[in-house]
């Protein structure tokens, strides 16, 4: 049995725990749940009835770091769903480093650790024979990495472009269709819970830039960091500019791209009938490959659908462990 712990029991963590106890994947036990204050652990695993709403009210709640569970060898797989810090990678980076070093598999939706230390983490995973999967870090539930890794295995990705941030795409969509100025569209997004109270990472293009870094390192074998991305956000985009674009059959989108070894995030003119021209909070990712040519994926870039990407990574790990048990 694979003993799985979820570190970060917030929006995604609670939904993943519900999904795992709903359909109970064969060969996996959900044995630990952790937040910033402590954790609960059950050797026999949690089921739907025993899942707490609030960890700290559970009678087995331990005010301790979940690193303890990793160090004591009580987990085989951790799912890291901690808040993102794109400059230090922590707290997720510490958990992931420690787990991989000990051969514990990792699934994560937290971009920070990958942006800060992608190469290091992949090399630690390799040496320890562990897996590090991160489908949920880019495009929410859209199967970006699994598609590239499996379906495009014999092909070669040459360039990638994408609408990678739902908040800015919502704002630009409202500016395009309703003629709203940026500050009003932002207020609306905040009221709907689509934008943070401090929206600077989204509006400044940093969130998109992190995703571009992960795509470049994971899909094009690059070794890039946040500093390597030319970043321009949408704060200077005016409703006049959006309206002028509209008159020409175009719109303005915040596009992240990897072209000829360079990484960019900037507002770009996009034709209204272009496959990347998705509206609202949708994300779109377009690959240009050597054999297949252009391929565009469109879907929800955040929210509950992200759990689909986490489940897919977890299932991949279950399969991989089953195969390695059977042997070559
Ligand atoms: N939400 C989405 O749609 C989405 C989509 C793609 C990727 N992501 C990424 O996925 C991650 C989780 O997102 P979320 O929306 O679930 O976040 P969230 O609701 O803010 O939950 C974060 C959880 O992490 C816990 N945490 C904070 N510091 C911790 C620490 N030092 N040790 C252990 N746990 C700690 C928090 O504990 P407390 O409750 O005690 O504070 C909380 O339970 C983020 O990195 C986010 O960027 C989210």
Pair 250, 312 in one domain: no
Pair 158, 186 in one domain: yes
Tens-place pLDDT, residues 131-186: 999 999 999 999 999 999 999 999 999 999 999 999 999 999 999 999 999 999 99
The predicted structure's pLDDT at residue 283: 98
How far is it, in rounded angstroms, from Cα 78 to Cα 30?
10
Ligand 1 pocket (Cβ < 6 Å) reads 7-13, 34-37, 66, 81-84, 91, 109-110, 136, 140, 302-303, 306
Tens-place pLDDT, residues 207-244: 999 999 999 999 999 999 999 999 999 999 999 999 99
| Minimum CA distance residue for ligand 1 atom 40 | 36
How far is it, in rounded angstroms, from Cα 31 to Cα 50?
11
211 catalytic per annotation: yes
Pair 88, 116 in one domain: yes
Pair 238, 272 in one domain: yes
**Domain region containing 78:** 2-141+305-326
Pair 296, 150 in one domain: yes
Pair 312, 294 in one domain: no
Tens-place pLDDT, residues 104-132: 999 999 999 999 999 999 999 999 999 99
Tens-place pLDDT, residues 258-287: 999 999 999 999 999 999 999 999 999 999
The predicted structure's pLDDT at residue 326: 58
CATH number of the domain bearing residue 189:
3.30.360.10
Pair 136, 156 in one domain: no
Pair 183, 254 in one domain: yes
Backbone φ and ψ of 322, nearest 5° = -65, -40
pTM comes to 0.97
Helix or strand holding residue 191 (H, E): helix 182-191
Pair 137, 161 in one domain: no
Pair 311, 238 in one domain: no
How far is it, in rounded angstroms, from Cα 323 to Cα 328?
8
Tens-place pLDDT, residues 189-200: 999 999 888 899
Task: Give the residue, out of 51, 61, 83, 145, with the most ligand 1 atoms within 8 A of its beta carbon, to mutate for a pocket test.
Answer: 83
- Number of structural domains the chain divides into: 2
Pair 73, 187 in one domain: no
CATH number of the domain bearing residue 316:
3.40.50.720
End-to-end CA, the chain: 20
Structural contact between residues 257 and 234, judged by C-beta atoms closer than 8 angstroms: no
Tens-place pLDDT, residues 31-83: 999 999 999 999 999 999 999 999 999 999 999 999 999 999 999 999 999 99
Pair 247, 210 in one domain: yes
């Amino acid at each position: 049995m694979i003993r799985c712990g979820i570190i970060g029991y917030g929006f995604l963590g609670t939904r993943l725990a519900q999904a795992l106890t709903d359909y109970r994947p064969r060969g996996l036990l959900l044995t630990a749940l952790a937040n910033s204050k402590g954790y609960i652990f059950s050797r026999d695993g949690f089921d739907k009835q025993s899942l707490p709403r609030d960890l700290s009210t559970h009678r087995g709640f331990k005010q301790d770091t979940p690193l303890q569970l990793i160090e004591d060898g009580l987990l085989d797989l951790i799912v890291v769903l901690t808040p993102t810090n794109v400059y230090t990678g922590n707290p997720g980076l510490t958990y992931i480093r420690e787990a991989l070093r000990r051969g514990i598999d990792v699934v994560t939706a937290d971009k920070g650790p990958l942006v800060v230390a992608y190469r290091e983490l992949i090399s630690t995973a390799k040496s320890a024979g562990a897996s590090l999967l991160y489908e949920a870090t880019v495009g929410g539930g859209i199967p970006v990495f699994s598609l590239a890794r499996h379906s495009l295995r014999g092909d070669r990705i040459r360039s990638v472009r994408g609408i990678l941030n739902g908040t800015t795409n919502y704002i630009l969509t409202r500016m395009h269709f309703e003629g709203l100025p940026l500050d009003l569209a932002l207020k609306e997004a905040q009221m709907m819970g689509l934008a943070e109270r401090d929206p600077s990472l989204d509006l400044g293009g940093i969130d998109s830039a992190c995703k571009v870094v992960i795509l470049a390192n994971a899909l094009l074998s690059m070794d890039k960091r946040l500093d390597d991305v030319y970043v321009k956000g949408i704060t200077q985009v005016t409703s006049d500019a959006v309206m002028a674009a509209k008159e020409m059959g175009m719109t303005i989108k915040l596009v992240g791209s990897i072209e000829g070894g360079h990484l960019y995030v900037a507002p770009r003119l996009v034709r209204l009938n272009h496959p990347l021209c998705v509206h609202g909070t949708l994300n779109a990712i377009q690959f240009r490959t050597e054999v297949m040519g252009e391929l565009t994926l469109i879907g929800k870039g955040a929210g509950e659908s992200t759990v689909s990407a986490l489940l897919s990574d977890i299932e991949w790990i279950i399969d991989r462990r089953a195969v390695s048990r059977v042997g070559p």
